[in-house]
Amino acid sequence: MKLADQTLEKIENGSAVIGVVGLGYVGLPLILGFVGRGFRVMGIDIDRKKIEAIRAGESYIEHIPGGSIAEAVESGKLEVTTDFSEASRPDALIMCVPTPLDEHFEPDLSFVLSTMESLVPHLRPGQVVSLESTTYPGTTDEELRPLIEDRGLAVGTDIFLVYSPEREDPGNPDFSATSIPKVVGGTTGDCARVGQALYQAVVSEVVPVRSTQVAEFTKLLENIYRAVNIGLVNELKVAAERMGIDIWEVIEAAATKPFGFKPFYPGPGLGGHCIPIDPYYLTWKAREYGVHTRFIELAGEINRSMPHWVVQRTMEALNQRSKSVKGSRILLMGLAYKENVDDMRESPTFTLMDELAGLGAEVDYYDPHIPEIGPTREHARWTGARSVEWTPENIAGFDCVLLATNHRVFDLAGLLESADLVIDTRNAIARAGLTPREGQVVKA
């Protein structure tokens, strides 16, 4: 029996040990999914704090309950470590590590490559290696395959290399790591067979594609589609405002068309680890083929300009009250990049805070999901800042409250009772059916 069939048999009879490398927003739900299907799982991460939290049955991601982690640990099916030499034990290694951009908006594969280099000395025949990190087409075959084969292991014969992009949506109660269909592409036919079996063991539906490149491109298309359409409505928002038209009313009216239209909504900029970043992985790779992806790059420019436009609207609103930004006390509501989560990665609120502070404003934030700001690569000045206490007296003390992310826990009625000026970037007040005082709320 060849190795591919042996690995398939282990996966199908449930005796395979599953390794997940990188225990963040993607990796942690994945290990819980495999444990829930009865597999023994090993989690590997360089962050010792995460390892200690899991061992203690505690969650460090708000929407994942600690009880689920404690149950997995107590079952004896989950162990976690910072020791990469343990990577020889699992039959499958799934990599869930960040793929950010560098300062030139070019792909930064340092986390993927350093992780792979740490795993390679411990790889053994029969293992399946899957990359889930979003990246440009060709990464799996051009970057990971040579590292494995330099170790003397033949991909497709000894090691089964696949790419299956993550599709996590943190905080979405309608979808989980095991219910979202999984796209899987293999480097060879046997790689594809093994990879599909691996994910069929844990997710409700596997979508096989012809190659790792197709799978990589699929993930980029999903997020470019959203980035471009959000860029479109952001540009239309500016045009509509200048014409005295409410873009939100326009979108809601257009959304009544039962075909040919899907509503996208404007905001203060893009956030999260996908939509603001992923399009640039394709634009970078496309240049290698002499293709200039102008449409994608234009959408990126528009979306990156949105925080500045919001700041300009804030300045105009303060000016109408005979106040300048310099010296004004401004509160940002919502630090997380999306509603009802504690994920602040690439949040446009940071850019808003930076720009307002740079203009001389006294800036604070309120977000019960993020009581304190941890270290970030681009916004170190805010490390250690704490969310203000929500009291009518505190809110009344600000010259302006800028609503950047509309969490469900926000007391919008109380906001209107206390705040003199609200800059609403999410149309939250209108959507809540509240009636502000004349001139109290400015949409941006």
Selecting among 96, 191, 274, 400, the annotated active-site residue is 274
- Give one DSSP letter per residue of 110-172, joined into a string: HHHHHHHHHHGGG--TT-EEEE-S---TTHIIIIIHHHHHTTT--BTTTBEEEE------TT-
Whether domain 226-443 has CATH 3.40.50.1820: no
| Helix/strand/coil for 3 | helix
Cβ atoms of 93 and 163 closer than 8 Å: no
* pLDDT value at residue 40: 98
* pLDDT value at residue 328: 97
Cα dist from 92 to 15, 73, 95, 292, whole Å:
11, 19, 10, 38
Q: Per-domain residue ranges for the chain? A: 3-210, 226-443
Distance in angstroms between the alpha carbons of the first and the last residue of the chain: 64
From first to last of its 444 residues, the chain has per-residue pLDDT tens of 799 999 999 999 999 999 999 999 999 999 999 999 999 999 999 999 999 999 999 999 998 999 999 999 999 999 999 999 999 999 999 999 999 988 888 899 999 999 999 999 999 999 999 999 999 999 999 999 999 999 999 999 999 999 999 998 887 888 888 899 999 999 999 999 999 999 999 999 999 999 999 999 999 999 999 999 999 999 999 999 999 999 999 999 999 999 999 999 999 998 887 888 889 999 999 999 999 999 999 999 999 999 999 999 999 999 999 999 999 999 999 999 999 999 999 999 999 999 999 999 999 999 999 999 998 878 989 999 999 999 999 999 999 999 999 999 999 999 999 999 999 999 999 999 999 999 999 999
Tokens 């039959």: give the residue. 91
* pLDDT value at residue 114: 97
Cα distance between residue 364 and residue 333, in whole Å: 9
What ranges in 168-288 are assigned the alpha helix state H?
189-200, 212-242, 247-254, 278-288
Closest CA to 342 of 364, 380, 371, 375: 371
How many of the other CB atoms lie within 10 Å of CB of 239?
10
Cα distance between residue 427 and residue 432, in whole Å: 9
274 carries an active-site annotation: yes
What architecture (CATH level 2) is domain 3-210?
Answer: 3-Layer(aba) Sandwich (3.40)
* pLDDT value at residue 170: 81
Cα distance between residue 275 and residue 266, in whole Å: 14
The DSSP secondary-structure symbol of 104 reads: T
The DSSP secondary-structure symbol of 386 reads: B
Tokens 């994920």: give the residue. 343
Whether 3-210 and 226-443 share one fold: the answer is yes
Cβ atoms of 307 and 348 closer than 8 Å: yes
